[in-house]
Amino acid sequence: TIFLGSGTTVLEAARALHGRKLTVITNSLAVVNALAGADATAIICLGGILRTSELSFIGHLTEQALSELRADKVLIGTRAISLEHGLTHDYLPETVTDRAVLKMGSEIIVLADHSKFGRAATVLLAPLDRIHILVTDDQTPPDFVGAVTARGITVIQA
């Protein structure tokens, strides 16, 4: 059982998982559409308030559903990642929902391209040590990769 969040990077992961035998929990309308029709994949779609810019469901109803679910792995994106400030977002209501997402998973996997590193947005999502695996591209600065790895976080450059 995995949770797939919203955002373009996580959507690409969803497309790569299409047709695999697994259970996907998501608050992303785009992820639901990407996985729809794959008989092997069971989809649990969370409701709530639709954030049209992200096509994601957020808010109290989403968080209530999340509190009753568990996932082996959580795959999420983030607006910015900083060694000092951790994972940050720029929209508080989505951040509150994403904090509930982080509580439901045994293993937290953050998907982020190189443009997200060394930056901080307005709202703290979680400290960097909350994540287990960071998946990024080969343009991520080597010094940042080294600093994250030194904190015990596995970095996968794809």
Cα–Cα dist 40/43, whole Å: 10
Q: How confident is the model at residue 117 (pLDDT cuts 50, 70, 90)?
A: very high
Q: What is the pLDDT of residue 101?
A: 98
**CB-based contact 58:92 (threshold 8 Å):** no
Of the candidates 150, 147, 145, the residue with the CA atom closest to the CA atom of residue 158: 145
Q: How confident is the model at residue 118 (pLDDT cuts 50, 70, 90)?
A: very high
Q: What is the pLDDT of residue 68?
A: 97
Three-state DSSP at 30 gives: helix
Q: What value does the mean pLDDT take over residues 19-44?
A: 96
State percent of the chain over pLDDT 70: 100
CA-based end-to-end distance of the chain: 23
Q: What is the pLDDT of residue 5?
A: 97
What residues does 19 pair with on adjacent strands?
A: none
